[in-house]
A = this chain, B = another copy of it.
């Protein structure tokens, strides 16, 4: 076992009758993993109108500079946020798995500050900004859940910044692999023996701020030293403890638990002004 269980809380009020096949389930599951949502909150989320969509590898959901009026929830596959410098250099800013809400951040500002692209074939669901905001306005716990989700997003971005600024190539790659494996586990995608690493070495480079050539050499060293096996897109972690140490990885920044202190002061419905 490479990752300990998340200890995710199931809200006591949670209806057992919720349909786990509902397309919005991954979203509500994710939000509920870090915020307490009452049965009313959850049913309000389940009743959000949405539109299905499929993305081919390489498809863009959003371009930097555009106006965005809906946010998309990822059901299967992997999406990336990215941004270009004025000279055309691309930086992958974050990677997203099942349940992640993408483009909420672009939908609440005037113009998108980053692009969103499919790394693999992906299934998504689009929720109109107005619908989501209305739900948040009517149910404070939903607004808070969106805030907490955004905060965790931001925490991950800060850790990436720490990596880009202060860690060397070997550490950056190891760290990224650790993060992906943990998050992939938490998203409910099992990865007992190996995982379909969706990123090319080129993309690993774009995510860590280095050349694909150098990514290649680093990966070779990691294989030589027995940390991972990586062949035919299949990533097998041979030495989880070693990889964590090599990547200076600890999972604190992923905020995998509901803050205990906040559980008592959660409210679930609108209150009189």
> Does B252 contact A65, Cβ atoms closer than 8 Å?
yes
CB distance from A7 to the nearest CB of B (A): 11
CB distance from A150 to the nearest CB of B (A): 5
Given the interface pairs A147-B143, A150-B151, A265-B133, the reply to whether A164 lies near B161 with Cβ below 8 Å is yes
> Does A209 contact B265, Cβ atoms closer than 8 Å?
no
In the complex, chain B residues whose CB is within 8 Å of the CB of A111? 252
* A137 contact from B40, B130, B144, B154, Cβ within 8 A: B144
In the complex, chain B residues whose CB is within 8 Å of the CB of A134? 265
In the complex, chain B residues whose CB is within 8 Å of the CB of A252? 65, 111, 113
> Does A255 contact B110, Cβ atoms closer than 8 Å?
yes
> Does A165 contact B91, Cβ atoms closer than 8 Å?
yes
Residue A234 at the chain B interface, CB threshold 8 Å: no
Given the interface pairs A85-B166, A138-B273, A261-B67, the reply to whether A105 lies near B154 with Cβ below 8 Å is yes
In the complex, chain B residues whose CB is within 8 Å of the CB of A183? none
Known: A109-B148, A150-B150, A157-B157. 18 other contacts (CB 8 A): A40-B273, A67-B261, A90-B166, A91-B161, A105-B151, A105-B154, A109-B151, A109-B152, A113-B155, A136-B143, A137-B140, A138-B273, A147-B147, A150-B154, A157-B158, A157-B161, A164-B164, A270-B272
